[in-house]
Amino acid sequence: MNVEKERELVERAKDNTEAFGELYDQYYSQIFGYVLKRTASIEVAEDVTSEAFFKALKNLRQFHWRGVRFSSWLYRIATNEIANYFTKSRPWQSSLEEVSNSMSFSDALTETELLQAEAELRRHEDFLTLHENISKLQPKYQEVIVLRFFEDKQLKEIGEILGKREGTVKSLLHRGLEKLRRLTE
């Protein structure tokens, strides 16, 4: 979607539910994928993605084009929600088993889909090993490393997402990689 079209869609979405649905269709996969790469848990990704989109819907009228793309704004909300997830004590912040316990009993199809997705995730051992080490870093390093290498974002866009200068992102990336290198030794 080009910038102009996206801008027009975002403006419409402020008063039009269907337009918000179009934005959701456009960005759901990206946001879910990003959260999954940060958390390595399908169920946490479900919850955090849901929170992020509800926050986006609630605050959409406050979004204005001031050099930050809508997609970057969504990534920023998702990044904040991930941070909230890991720092706040929430009743829904529970282990995988506890989360699965709260699922609807009869929704066997959903559960099968969940199990399949978890199995697919577990197949990617290289990713999971790296994630394990990345998750030991401070969040500021996790954010830049995941956005740069797993989301293929350029430094400028990472800066937009995180609200930091490009030079700061570059420096965080450099230090984050150094710390990660030591962890992987």
Partner 1 sequence: MNKEELIKKLESAKLPKIELQSHRRQLRIALLNADYSERQPEVTISDLTKSKVRGGIEKMLRGLVSPRPVWKTALVTGLAIVLVFALAIGLPSLIGQSPELLAGEIVQNSPDVIAALGGDEVETVRILNIEDNMATVIVEGKMGGIVNALVDLYTKVVTEAVGGPQLTDEEKDKALNIATTDPRVQEVLDMGAVIDLVLPMYVTFSKVNQETGEIEEVTETWAQMWINLGNRAWGVQVDLIRGKVVSMTD
> Which residues of this chain interact with partner 1, rule CB under 8 A?
17-18, 20-21, 24-25, 28-29, 32-33, 36-37, 42, 46-47, 49-51, 53-54, 57, 90-92, 100-124, 126-127, 130, 145, 149-150, 177-178, 180-181, 184-185
Closest among 44, 10, 37 to 24, alpha carbons compared: 10
Residue 120 C-beta: closest distance to partner 1, Å: 5
Indicate the residue type of 88: K
CB of 17 to partner 1, least distance (A): 5
DSSP conformation letters of 34-64: HHHHHH--HHHHHHHHHHHHHHHHHHGGG--
Nearest by Cα to 170 from 181, 182, 157, 180: 157
Q: Pick from 98, 57, 97, 99: which is nearest to 74 by CA?
A: 57
State the minimum distance, in angstroms, from the CB of residue 171 to partner 1: 15
Count of helices and strands (H, E) across the chain: 10, 0
Residue at token pair 């080490």: 133
What's the min distance (Å) between Cβ of 72 and partner 1?
20
